[in-house]
Amino acid sequence: MAEASIEIQRKANSLFSAFFSKQVISTEVIKYQDETDDNSVALVMSILRADAEKSKTPFKLYATQFVIQGVKALTGKHFKLEGNFFYVLAKKLASQGEIYNKKIQDVINNQPALAPFQVIVKLDKIGVISIILYFQSCSGCSSKLSAWVDSLFVLSCSPPNPQESDLLHYLLTVVIHIGFGELSADLQKNISGQTLKIAVSLLNDLTRLMWDFLWEFPEKEIHAFDSLVDSQQVMFCQLSSLQRCYLEQLSFIISYKPEIKPITAIKSQHEWTYFKSPKNVVNLITQLLIPLEVENVLKKVDEILNRYEINWKNLLIIISTVQACYPTGNQHLKALINSLMQRALENLQMELLLASFLLARQINAEHTSSPHYGAWFSSITSSSTTSKQFAFLLKFLSNTVRHEPSWVLFAHRSNPPFIPMMDNCRTLWTDYTVLVRTRLEDFKLKQSTDQIIEEDATVVKEVGIAIATFEKSGRISNAVIEAAIFRKPYFINKFLPMLLKPRRVPNPPDALEELVEELKKSGKIPGPHYEAYRAACQQLQKETPENEPMDWQMSDGKTNYEILMNHVIRCKDERQQSLLIEQLDGILGSLLSHTNSSTTVIDFNPDADEVATRNGLACKIVKHWILSIQTACFAANEPDWMNRYFLLFCRYPKFVESLYVHTWNFIHVCNEDDDMACCYGIVILLLCRNSHILLPVHYRSFNGTFSELLMREDQLVLDRKESMTFYLRLLYHTLMAAKRRKELANVRLASSLYLWLCRRIMHSSKISEFKKFVGLSKDMELLKEADLPAKKWLRLEMAVVADADVLSWCERSGYLHSVLKTEYQDVPATELSLLILDSVMKGILNNSVAHADCSKDLLLLLQYLLYNDQPASSESPAWLINYWMQLRHEQGKDVDQLMWSIVCTLPPYLLSRNSSYQPIQDTSFKTLANLIENEWRNTVTSESAWLPKYIASHLLRALEGAFLDIPCLRFSAQIHRLHDNKVVAGAWASLDKALDVFHPLMYDLDNDETIDWSGVAEVDLLASQLMTLAAVSWYTKGNTDKWPGFIERLCPKISANPGLLNAWKMPYWTGEDSKFPWIQILPTCMLNLLPFVILRVLISWSDSLLPTTPDYLDALVTAHNQWIQVTHSFIDSAMGHENQSNYPVGQILDFCTLGRMASDVEQILGRAPIRSLKLLQQYSCFRAMEADYQVLVRKRCS
């Protein structure tokens, strides 16, 4: 612990001392991931507090800036989202009230893109920001709201993971609390009504995505609302909020896509039950029902039926789920149905009548063994039913009779309702029964057949339950025993025929066979039934003729899968091969587990040793399987049956995972064996062809099919000649196998990479060795399927290690030009230029190992393109400057230095236009001028008074013909021109010497050189101003204890030559007397620091200049007034939480320093000669002085 504390202190001391020099300091603390304890936290906080005290900055403001720096780093793109130690520090600061939470909240809220949820949630949990206020800030941005929905959906679909589940539950409860909860009084003041509506809409959008996804992928599961009631995150909102939210989501589902017609619902509702609907869909509904009371759910259903359009399929599935999941669901549903029927007849509402019939049949569908529906139908009318109501009911029944299933018609005919003894009601019923009888005759079904149809599904279900119970417990279930004793007709006539359906009996016997034998032993199966079952099974077994005996058993009688695989490969007879595969499937089923329905994705781990330890047997089987594939390749015996062979094994996830690892390791080792390359080419084709039925793969940030991961260029080692030649052979064999099977459409990724490799090989000296393997590159079928866009081509080129390339440097240049002309001649030159530059920049930024890439070759290609192919358009803005702006937005301003190193190798005109013949566009010029004035002048050389020569000259050439002047460029050109001329005599010699000595980037404390003043006022003024800039630069570097020697040596020179004092007067910098537009030349931070430096220097010269130099007091007071203005501006910006990077900070702004300097000025005024004070009263600076100073001067002059 002591060593860790020392390390923290060492880092903190070096970092915090430069905090206000705009260095990112929190990032180092973020990277510190060791275990935290109170001592480490206290140590870093003490360092923070000491540094704030040293800089005379309020600790709360200092700590707030520290947290903001860390938050920006955590939400940026260059750091992992961890920062554990930083969170502990921030939590400590927040709990003690040591930070401005609102300022941090504003920084987070104002970010252009959605911040990472992990960071937002963590900051909310530790009390630094409010995630609810952050959601409020996102509500006005459609892109952020879309990102909210997409992110929540991705988390919902992700495989179960405790960390991601907690994050999802936290975010969901926040949005639920906003949309449906009761907000605190403080939040109600800040959260608008529109935000509440947006939260509700967001949850509906999320539910819509989930619902569509579950229907599209029945094998997928979503657990977004699962266990949310019991989750720790429920502290955000009360149970009542969750209930209101879940009811709203059920309402949304019921009314979502109301496209199903009532007739369709009548015909198909028997398929929309709890047990027949997709399991994942029913699970989502169940999740929404968990916290709800059945009365509230059905009350909401009743409300929707009266007000909104209905998706009958969704509603009926929900009704079935209510029936199955609530113990009292059936009771409450019957009450709702009776209520709907009563209101339908009273008000003659056809919609409610339809709903009551559909709901009644739906609850009956879950309990078909009981005559619920017929009994209900007979009770829908009574003696109080009027003739008008009965006629309305019969009209509905008559209109739907041709769409009704047979069992419904039979129930209506067998269970007539009460028929009012008035008007023509009896006639109406007679007419209806005629329609029913006619319809039943059309079905050609009798009453018994109808009843069997109604109950078949129940029998199948009960038989399945009986088998599952026996398999689990080894005993006959009580339900079967009771049926055999008390429901014997049902047991003999329905249960046993379903149980004893003839089949091929497996060896060894399965659970069904064991149940049959146990029932026979206990006397529950009559002898004739049992004997008939056995005879039927034996007859079915005989229908398959015996095959030639094959040696697929070892001496101990146990089947060996390795020998059996070899027999499968060598077998020529298709039928016998099928039997062998069936036998092999039985072996695999006893050795490997089948796909688990809860398994939705394979977490791919390419570590062969780890997988071998976990799936040892599967790895052995994979090795034999690959050898068998190699044998088939060698024997040219792999056309039609190979895919079936592959699908047999793909039913076992452990086998698939092991196969993935073996394939991955083979292609990354780049084995030179051509036979194995041919074998794995077949494997890759099989993976590509069947990727849609295999479990998806999760690998790092990748989620998708393994074949797509396998063929991604960023996952393959395509950077050296050894790997390139290997992949050429491997892809050749893959594509040859695909071509033979006419399946090139399944291997488009492989086709693209193969064409890229062929082009490179054909331009190299290796072509003679690999001529065989490039033959497919001219195949028209392959060319039709292959697609290698320019962007992907350039990305592949940037990944190549130049020194290890299959192409020499001279071959590579010819290759690039050839491909550019032949393959991408249709791409506009401007678009192609942008793609090349972007590839070079992204390649360099992402090159973590710093190998010698092909960026130089691509830059030469770009130069060739720009100098030879001028864009035709004269109206489009400058693409280079637009790209630069976009890159700065994505990567930050740190890319400028790298960008300059590349841009200066390109034609200068690109910074302002797309063609040297194109006039400068006004928008392009304004963009470039704004960057020069407001960005590069302040960031490229923050300590210098001008831009570097190579940048300045490039910019000047870019602006040729603009007829507009940019002061910082003009000044830079003049200074560089003067410096290049090497003037050694005359007045300019002094200025040249001043440049060498006092250039802010060159000044050395130990340099005792002096200059001889020329006597030419303009030259001496500029030289003296260079000394002033050197002093400002000196102070920005943190040299505050003492001043450089030239300051002390300059004072006597000013006493002798008062004109030199002009360099230390503010009007010569920012006023009308300025010889140069310093405001547009110097960085803003230097301009803001200038009055303080001048003021401090003038105070140090007071003893010498006060009695001798009449203008001294004017210069002193002017600097003091200007510094007061800068100080007020800084304080205003700090109070307003604005950007303060352009204002000097640190020791300069502490009140002790300000008070001490004010005292110094007051003392100087108190001892100044009267004549100097009277002269001061004539200057405008006197009227700008603070009132106390004016009183002091007037008092002394009176």
Say which range, 692-696, 1006-1010, 1107-1111, has the weakest mean pLDDT: 1006-1010
| Residue 697: φ, ψ to 5° | -115, 135
Query: Would you place residue 17 in the very low, low, confident or very high pLDDT band (cuts 50, 70, 90)?
Result: very low
In the chain, where the domains are located? 1-127, 130-230, 387-445, 450-542, 561-797, 798-869, 879-896+908-968, 982-1197
Single-letter amino acid code for the residue at 659: L
- Given a cut of 60, whether residue 963 has pLDDT beyond it is no
Report pLDDT digits (tens) over 83-94: 577 788 888 888
Kindly state the helix (H) or strand (E) to which residue 603 belongs, with its residue range.
strand 602-603
Give the Å distances, CA to CA, from 1172 to 338, 1110, 1187.
106, 6, 19
- pLDDT of res. 444: 55
- Out of 176-190, 514-528, 997-1011, pick the least confident: 997-1011
How far apart, in whole angstroms, are the C-alpha atoms of residue 875 and residue 897? Answer: 29
> Alpha helices of 869-966 — where are they, by DSSP H?
879-891, 895-903, 922-931, 937-939, 949-958
Angle at 179 between CA 173 and CA 182, to 5 degrees: 85
Percent helix, strand and coil across the chain, each to the nearest 5:
70, 0, 30
**In this structure, are residues 272 and 320 in contact, taking their beta carbons and an 8 Å threshold?**
yes
**Mean per-residue pLDDT, 928-951:** 67
Terminal-to-terminal C-alpha distance of the chain: 70
Kindly state the tokens that stand for 1127. Answer: 């100080």
**187: Cβ–Cβ under 8 A, 6 or more apart, which residues?**
130, 132, 133
The band of 902, judged by pLDDT with boundaries at 50, 70 and 90, is confident
pLDDT digits 0-9 by tens, 570-613: 776 666 777 777 778 777 777 776 655 456 788 888 887 777 77
Return the SS3 of 704. Answer: strand
Q: Which of 113-117, 766-770, 859-863, 1144-1148 has the lowest mean pLDDT?
A: 1144-1148
pLDDT of residue 22 exceeding 70: no
Is the pLDDT score of 30 beyond 50?
Answer: no
Of residues 664, 681, 819, 678, the one with CA closest to residue 750: 681
Residues 517 and 537: beta-carbon distance below 8 Å: no
When the pLDDT of each residue in the chain is averaged and rounded to a whole number, the result is 77
The answer to whether the CB of 705 falls within 8 A of the CB of 690 is no
pLDDT for the residue numbered 928 = 82
pLDDT band at 869 (very low <50, low <70, confident <90, very high): low
- Output phi, psi for 704, to 5 deg: 165, -160
Check the CA dihedral 51-54-55-56 and report its sign.
Answer: positive
Angle between helix axes 38-54 and 84-95 (nearest 10 degrees) is: 70
User: pLDDT tens-digit profile of 698-744?
Assistant: 888 888 888 888 888 778 888 888 888 888 888 888 888 888 888 88
Q: Quick one: CA dihedral 188, 193, 194, 195, positive or negative?
A: positive
Backbone φ/ψ region at 227: left (φ over 0), alpha (ψ -120 to 50), beta: left
Strand-strand pairing, 697-699 and 602-603: parallel
- Could you give the C-alpha distances from 403 to 265, 266, 267, 268, 1174, in angstroms and in order? 10, 7, 6, 10, 111
Q: Please name the amino acid found at residue 621.
A: I
* Contact call for residues 40 and 8 (beta carbons, < 8 A): yes
* Phi, psi for residue 251 in degrees, rounded to 5: -60, -40
Closest by CA to 1000, choosing from 1031, 978, 1040, 976, is: 1031
Alpha-carbon span 796 to 791, nearest angstrom: 9
Q: What is the pLDDT of residue 1126?
A: 81
Rounded CA separation 484/523 (Å): 10
Q: Give the CA angle between residues 464, 465, 468 to the nearest 5°.
A: 85
- Separation between Cα atoms, residue 719 and residue 801, nearest integer Å: 5
| Short-list 302, 342, 339, 343, CA closest to 319 | 302
Distances in Å between the Cα of 741 and the Cα atoms of 361, 562, 648, 1131 are 51, 27, 19, 76
Query: 1089-1133, pLDDT tens digit by residue?
Result: 889 888 888 988 888 888 888 888 888 888 888 888 887 777 666
**Cβ proximity of 983 and 993 under 8 Å:** no
Q: Which helix (H) or strand (E) holds 733?
A: helix 721-740
Phi-psi region of 714 (alpha: psi -120 to 50; beta: other; left: phi over 0): alpha
Among 19-33, 121-135, 163-177, which stretch is predicted with the lowest mean pLDDT? 19-33
Going by their DSSP bridges, the two strands 702-704 and 697-699 should be labelled as antiparallel
Residue 808 — pLDDT band, cuts 50, 70, 90?
confident
pTM above 0.75, yes or no: no
**pLDDT surpassing 50 at residue 1055:** yes
Token output for 75: 């939400």
From residue 71, alpha-carbon distances to 111, 171, 264 in Å are 11, 19, 56
Share of the chain above pLDDT 70, in %: 80
Cα dihedral angle (612, 617, 620, 624), rounded to 10 degrees?
Answer: -150
8 A C-beta contact, residue 361 and residue 408: yes
Neighbours of 784 (CB within 10 A): 11
